[in-house]
Amino acid sequence: MGALLEVRNLKYRTEEGKEILKGVNLDVKEGEIHVLLGPNGAGKSTLANLIAGAGGYEEPTEGEIIFDGKVINGKPLYERAKMGLTIAFQEPARFEGITVEEYLKLSARNNPDADIEECLRKVGLDPCHYLHRFVDDSLSGGERKRIELASIMCMKPKLAVLDEIDSGIDFVSIDEIGNLFKTMRDEGTTLLVITHRENIANIADRASLLCDGQIVETGDPRKIIKKFEKECLVCEVQNPSLVKEVKVQNN
Amino acid sequence: MKLNLDSRILQGIDFLHKVGVNIQPQDLAFFVDKNEILHKKPLQGIKSEVIPTEFGIKMRTVIEPGVKIDYPVALCFGNISHGGEHINEQELIVGEGAEVKIYTFALIGPGQTLHRKDLVTVRIGKNAKVELYDIHYHDRSADINFYAELNAYLDEGAYFYNLLKVTDQKSGKFRTKFYGEVGPRAVAVVEAKMKATEGDDVVVEDIMKLVGEEARGLSKSRIIALDGAKAEFIGEAYGEAPNSRCHIDCAEVVKGENVVLKNIPVLVSTNETAKLTHEASIGKIDKKQLETLMAKGLTEDEATEVVVQGMLR
Ligand SMILES: Nc1ncnc2c1ncn2[C@@H]1O[C@H](COP(=O)(O)OP(=O)(O)OP(=O)(O)O)[C@@H](O)[C@H]1O
Ligand SMILES: [Mg+2]
């Protein structure tokens, strides 16, 4: 299948002149789970925000983002969402006075077929206990992330960018989340998944490695994981503290 | 022109429906239009005396020790056909171990020029539990100057919850002052939800005195200020007793221009084991909240409305 998302030579420089993305090229094919790996600070969240048009990252410094055949540079977040492109943030916001049910209904506004309770069940939350709770500070980090995942399922977008949605969720349920990603894919949502977890990366159809603001390789997830472990985790540019630690241990 | 009795009650019910209170005339325990008592029904377990005065009413309500009122008590204090000077004085005395949940509705009809004072005192006995919901309807066409004072005295182990809600139409010039004296192991929770629109001037003042060992207080206010509104919050906590705790949490959100907001927390501790905290914010709606909703396809205006409605709920 063709690319649903094409990122062409994307550059992003902050106002202070710091270059965060240095010419990213990335294709996400329709119907795939594409995992984006990379060390802390590589620019994964910046890339995710640029793709979604969030966090003040509507316009890249250079380059093009093409979604569903259209250049979307400069389009506001909600317009991209209406086109079928959404993002789950690394830290989704919390809301006073809004119930889980209302939140999921808002998410399902353009998907009348959504079964809210079923979406909750799929993320491992019992609707009886959660529908009427508020999406506020009373939820644990893991619960909030699960609700975000349920909201994406309710929305059923063409492409969902998931920025570390698995962090904060118990380790035992990671396999469960991998299966969920597969279900979402099979139901028609293409996924770009940012993660640090190998077992999530393992279920991907393809993976890319982002390092120092550039995609260094795209391909078979197992190969990319190996490269990530072998090269990135010991790279002095991206992980000076870790390298130092390793060196001390080796000595 | 004077309306007949029933139609004023029906008008009041209509106002309540407008602010989302789904109530029927038969659910009302009491309805007064300034100093004209239009309806009063005897309530099981509750002794209540009402005296009309020149400018309003004086009401004294007593719940005997151990009596648990298992239905919500709904009282309407309206200005349906009377404006001018209006003063209500109310005293609520709840005996040891008693429990009650009371809704008071302040209903201000159209076209009034009103100067109203509600002076309420609540005395809550040992281990008694009182919930008080004060919900307002102020018609947009009324010219309102409102002062609402609530004094609460909590005996050992008592629980008091108060919610003040002025979130529809307009607030007018509105000043509310809560004063609470919280006894040993007693808990006082006061919440204010206010919306200030063009020309409104809202002041919310909460004073919590923790006078008993392990007393707990929480003051939580949410104020939304739209174009051309003024709002001020003053929160004072006095930790006078050992191991007493109080938290003041006030968020004032601006939606529009020419808004003036003030937020003044005061924490005074006279006991080294007391712990007082406050959380105050003034400003626009959190960008992250808006973006989380906009990622679902809501426009910025729609997202703003969802966040505001949630805060005022
Ligand atoms: N507005 C900004 N101004 C300056 N530096 C920024 C800004 N935004 C991001 N950065 C920097 O850009 C780099 C990339 O950040 P980004 O959040 O995209 O990394 P990441 O790959 O998502 O990391 P993590 O794995 O920790 O989530 C980091 O070094 C970060 O500190
Ligand atoms: Mg990140």
Tokens standing for residue B171: 């607030």
Does the residue A235 lie in any domain?
Answer: yes
pLDDT at A176: 80
Q: What is the mean pLDDT of chain A?
A: 90
CB-based contact (8 Å) between B281 and chain A? no
Does the residue A109 lie in any domain?
Answer: yes
Tokens standing for residue B21: 């209170």
Identity of the amino acid at B58:
K
Are residues A177 and A57 part of one domain?
yes
Ligand nearest to the backbone CA of A37: 1
Please determine, for residue A178, whether its predicted confidence score (pLDDT) is greater than 90.
no
Are residues A149 and A195 part of one domain?
no
Ligand nearest to the backbone CA of A44: 1
Residues 6+ apart with CB under 8 A from A195: A35, A36, A37, A164, A166, A167, A201
Which CATH number does the domain housing residue A183 bear? Answer: 3.40.50.300
Are residues A197 and A131 part of one domain?
no
Are B293 and B263 in contact by the 8 Å Cβ rule? The answer is: no
Identity of the amino acid at A239:
N
Are B162 and B102 in contact by the 8 Å Cβ rule? The answer is: no
pLDDT-derived band at A169, boundaries 50, 70, 90: confident
Q: How far is B250 from chain A (nearest CA, A)?
A: 13
Q: Chain B residue closest to A160 (CA)?
A: B295
Q: What is the 3-state secondary structure (H, E, C) of chain A?
A: CCEEEEEEEEEEECCCCCEEEEEEEEEEECCCEEEEECCCCCCHHHHHHHHHCCCCCCCCCEEEEEECCEECCCCCHHHHHHHCEEEECCCCCCCCCCEHHHHHHHHCCCCCCCCHHHHHHHCCCCHHHHCCCECCCCCCHHHHHHHHHHHHHHHCCCEEEEECCCCCCCHHHHHHHHHHHHHHHHCCCEEEEECCCHHHHCCCCEEEEEECCEEEEEECHHHHHHHHHHHHCCCCCCCHHHHHHHHHHHC
DSSP secondary structure of B148-181: EEEEEEE-TT-EEEEEEEE-SS---EEEEEEEEE
Are residues A76 and A186 part of one domain?
yes
CB-based contact (8 Å) between B163 and chain A? no
Does the residue A89 lie in any domain?
Answer: no
Q: Among residues A61, A89, A84, which one has the least CA distance to residue A74? A: A61
Please determine, for residue A244, whether its predicted confidence score (pLDDT) is greater than 70.
no
Does the residue A189 lie in any domain?
Answer: yes
The preferred substitution site among A14, A40, A46 for testing ligand 1, maximizing ligand atoms within 8 Å of CB, is A46
Are residues A77 and A176 part of one domain?
yes
pLDDT-derived band at A142, boundaries 50, 70, 90: confident
Q: Chain A residue closest to B309 (CA)?
A: A97
Tokens standing for residue B104: 């008071």
pLDDT-derived band at A179, boundaries 50, 70, 90: confident
Of A140, A156, A172, the one marking the end of a domain is: A156
Report the separation in Å between the CA atom of A246 and the middle of ligand 2, taken as the mean of its atom positions: 24
Report the separation in Å between the CA atom of A16 and the middle of ligand 1, taken as the mean of its atom positions: 13
pLDDT-derived band at A238, boundaries 50, 70, 90: low
pLDDT-derived band at B81, boundaries 50, 70, 90: confident
Please determine, for residue A243, whether its predicted confidence score (pLDDT) is greater than 50.
no
Please determine, for residue A250, whether its predicted confidence score (pLDDT) is greater than 50.
no
pLDDT digits (tens, 9 = 90+) for B137-183: 999 999 999 999 999 999 999 999 999 999 987 889 999 999 999 99
Query: B222: which chain A residues are within 8 Å (Cβ-Cβ)?
Result: 96
Residue A15, ligand 1, Cβ within 6 A: no
Length reported for chain A: 251
Q: Do B306 and A106 touch (CB under 8 A)?
A: yes
3-state secondary structure of B259: coil
Please determine, for residue A127, whether its predicted confidence score (pLDDT) is greater than 60.
yes
Q: Do B296 and A107 touch (CB under 8 A)?
A: yes
Domain count, chain A: 2
pLDDT at A133: 97
Residue A141, ligand 1, Cβ within 6 A: no
As a whole number of angstroms, the distance between CA A38 and CA A215 comes to 9
Of A135, A156, A177, the one marking the end of a domain is: A156
Report the separation in Å between the CA atom of A21 and the middle of ligand 1, taken as the mean of its atom positions: 10
Are residues A68 and A42 part of one domain?
yes
Are residues A176 and A67 part of one domain?
yes
Nearest CB partner across the interface for A93, out of B286, B298, B311: B286
ipTM of the complex: 0.91
Does the residue A218 lie in any domain?
Answer: yes
Averaged pLDDT, B119-144: 96
Does the residue A91 lie in any domain?
Answer: no
Atom of ligand 1 nearest to the CA of A39: 25
Report the separation in Å between the CA atom of A209 and the middle of ligand 2, taken as the mean of its atom positions: 14
pLDDT digits (tens, 9 = 90+) for B18-48: 999 999 988 999 999 999 999 999 998 999 9
Q: Do A93 and B291 touch (CB under 8 A)?
A: yes
Are residues A149 and A235 part of one domain?
no
Burial class (CB in 10 A: 0-12, 13-18, 19+), A126: exposed
3-state secondary structure of B5: helix
pLDDT at A237: 64
pLDDT at A219: 94
Distances (CA, A) of B125 to A235, B48, B63, B154, B183: 68, 17, 10, 7, 10
Are residues A106 and A171 part of one domain?
no
Q: How far is A243 from chain B (nearest CA, A)?
A: 35
Domain encompassing residue A139: 97-156
Going by CA atoms, what residue is nearest to atom 10 of ligand 1? A20
As a whole number of angstroms, the distance between CA A35 and CA A24 comes to 15
Q: Among residues A32, A36, A37, A35, which one has the least CA distance to residue A182? A: A32
Query: A88: which chain B residues are within 8 Å (Cβ-Cβ)?
Result: 295
Are residues A170 and A78 part of one domain?
yes
As a whole number of angstroms, the distance between CA A66 and CA A26 comes to 10
Residue A250, ligand 1, Cβ within 6 A: no
Are residues A228 and A161 part of one domain?
yes
Are residues A228 and A118 part of one domain?
no
pLDDT digits (tens, 9 = 90+) for A24-65: 999 999 999 999 999 999 999 999 999 999 988 888 999 999
